[in-house]
Chain A
Amino acid sequence: MKNPEEIFELLKNEFKDIIIGLEKESPTEPIVAIDPMQINKVGLFLRDNDILKFDSLMVLSGVDDANGTKVKDDDGAEMISGGTLSVYYHLHSTNLKHKITLKTTTPRENPQVESVYNIWRTSDWHEREAYDMFGIIFVNHPDLRRILMPYDWEAGYPLRKDYKNPEFYKGMKVPY
């Protein structure tokens, strides 16, 4: 069993530049920040290393950080330009009982994160959900399509902070 600081040190020695840092703000448990396009390498190491054995991905969640600049569009609605989207990975080892949280941040305009589908199969639907709700593209995901919203939903990504409901969906009024 290792605590997050020890795991961070291990990762830092192994990967150097890919690991961006360790965020510590109480009451949160420490979070390891990682480069979005290198997450697969780190995930494989975390799963297969004998002293880490993170065999279980508890949850993968997308987050809109809403840290861009707020601008008004033509209709006067508030839009966010710039800023970032994040993906959080909560890992757990069923064997060694320790936990770690990973975080990766990607620009809002072209959000791309490497898929971890080949490491933890459970991420299949979680990644589809993050794509559906935030528009984060998971590179190398074999079947990235909407999951909760209709497959032909064109009005954007609902959980983004500046999402606006469309007026009509296939001739049906949306805000009823």
Chain B
Amino acid sequence: MALKTETMVLNMGPQHPSTHGVLRLELEIEGELILSVKPHIGYLHRCFEKHAEAMTYPQVIPYTDRLDYLAAMGNNFGYVVAVEKLLGIQIPERVEYIRIIMAELQRIASHLVAIATNGADIGALTPFLYLFRDREYILSLFEMTCGARMLYNYMWIGGVSHDIHPDFVRKTKEFIIHFRPTIVELNNLLTFNKIFIERTANIGILPIDTAINFGASGPVLRGSGLQFDVRKEDPYSIYNRFDFEIPTGKGLVGTVGDCWDRYYVRVLEMEQSLRIIEQAIDNIPGGDVHSAIPKRIKPPKGTVYSRVENPRGELGYFIISDGNLNPFRVKVRAPSFVNLELMGELCKGHLVADVIAILGSLDIVLGEIDR
């Protein structure tokens, strides 16, 4: 008698410790083998884009905080850059430097969460606690600057909300001195840990042409080996003045574009962010951070698509102005939204346990997927 086999549908989520928010994955499995994955999203949908149409331009900024809540500075940055492009205003040097330092600190903080949760999902809980300790330093720096730890509303159109604290420069330098050795510690604890490599190397391999066709960006795209970073490709603010490299996946322990490569790109990017902060921190020029903030923000008729490199990838704002005080249309190109589409492609042929590793390596935030 032949063995009876049939496929089974398994729901992972919406409440699952490793889905990073309320996400439901519909897995079709045959034994332990994945046949297909269908993500179901929308549990956090609040229609940010509809809200934005009813707000004036500056009132939209606090809403952008709540898109990718682990990298709120980056969201603010993307939005104000887009509106400033529409307005065509010049930003004081001091503001540009402060913005870049904040955005890079935020990148480190966000990557720390990504790395920590990626490890914790597949069983490495110790590095999680170590990395959250280090993230605390950065959050304190932000708290010192603008009073908030997660949702800052810090970057305003034409400026920033508060000037930096007199202690900020000193404390940031202390942080850099503290943080360099902890990257080495992280590499010893997690990156080159045998068990971690076994779980992530050669898992969820993403070929480069698939990555481009699916619109992947950020560490997911770079993990597949393409040197693409909006900070270099389409320089905004003053990124073209700084010297930094774009790390890419090399297949060091497995194949190019596997989970481990995506993970390791984030580790290397933290070092590059430190380099940018080091170059900027001693050169902050004087000036008033409020001087260029327009009294009345009423951009001329027109459309703009502007993109910035957020920790999770290319964050784009498509804004249409009809010449009124509130935007006619704001569309957010959220990097996690686009990267999550890859789930179905990456999981095919892997085991159920690998879904967790793959999802962790994509580093999604449901706040910006559902908007």
Give the B-binding residues of A (Cβ under 8 A). Answer: 25-29, 31, 55-59, 61, 63-64, 88, 90, 94, 97, 101, 120-122, 124-125, 133, 146-150, 158-159, 163
A151–B106 CA distance with the chains assembled, in angstroms: 36
A26–B45 CA distance with the chains assembled, in angstroms: 34
CB-based contact A121/B213 at 8 Å: yes
A65–B140 CA distance with the chains assembled, in angstroms: 45
CB-based contact A61/B302 at 8 Å: no
CB-based contact B213/A120 at 8 Å: yes
CB-based contact A120/B371 at 8 Å: no
CB-based contact A148/B41 at 8 Å: yes
CB within 8 Å of A: which B38-87 residues: 41-42, 45, 47, 49-50, 85-86
| Interface-side segment among B108-116, B123-131, B172-180, B333-341 | B333-341
Interface size class, chain B: 35 or more
Judged by a CB distance under 8 angstroms, whether B239 is at the interface is no
CB-based contact A59/B233 at 8 Å: no
Contact of B214 among A88, A121, A133, A149 (CB under 8 A): A121
CB-based contact A90/B212 at 8 Å: no
Least CB distance from B320 to A in Å reads: 6
Least CB distance from A136 to B in Å reads: 13
Least CB distance from A77 to B in Å reads: 16
A40–B228 CA distance with the chains assembled, in angstroms: 27
Taking CB atoms, residues of chain B closer than 8 Å to A148 are 41-42, 45, 47, 370-371
CB-based contact A158/B47 at 8 Å: yes
| Interface-side segment among B28-36, B92-100, B303-311 | B303-311
Least CB distance from B294 to A in Å reads: 15
Taking CB atoms, residues of chain A closer than 8 Å to B331 are 59, 61, 63
Least CB distance from B371 to A in Å reads: 7
Contact of B45 among A56, A90, A149 (CB under 8 A): A149
A132–B124 CA distance with the chains assembled, in angstroms: 39
In the complex, residue of chain A having the shortest beta-carbon distance to the beta carbon of B228: A94
A59–B304 CA distance with the chains assembled, in angstroms: 12
CB-based contact B341/A121 at 8 Å: yes
Taking CB atoms, residues of chain A closer than 8 Å to B304 are 27-28
A120–B370 CA distance with the chains assembled, in angstroms: 22
Taking CB atoms, residues of chain B closer than 8 Å to A27 are 85-86, 88, 300, 302, 304
CB-based contact A58/B307 at 8 Å: yes
Least CB distance from A159 to B in Å reads: 6
CB-based contact B302/A149 at 8 Å: no
A27-B86, A121-B213 known; A58-B45 Cβ under 8 A:
no
CB within 8 Å of A: which B130-156 residues: none
A58-B316, A61-B318, A97-B233 known; A125-B341 Cβ under 8 A:
yes
A88–B304 CA distance with the chains assembled, in angstroms: 11
The 3 A-B residue pairs with the shortest CB-CB distance in the complex, in nearest-first order: A122-B215, A59-B333, A61-B331
Judged by a CB distance under 8 angstroms, whether B354 is at the interface is no
Taking CB atoms, residues of chain A closer than 8 Å to B214 are 121-122
Taking CB atoms, residues of chain A closer than 8 Å to B314 are 58
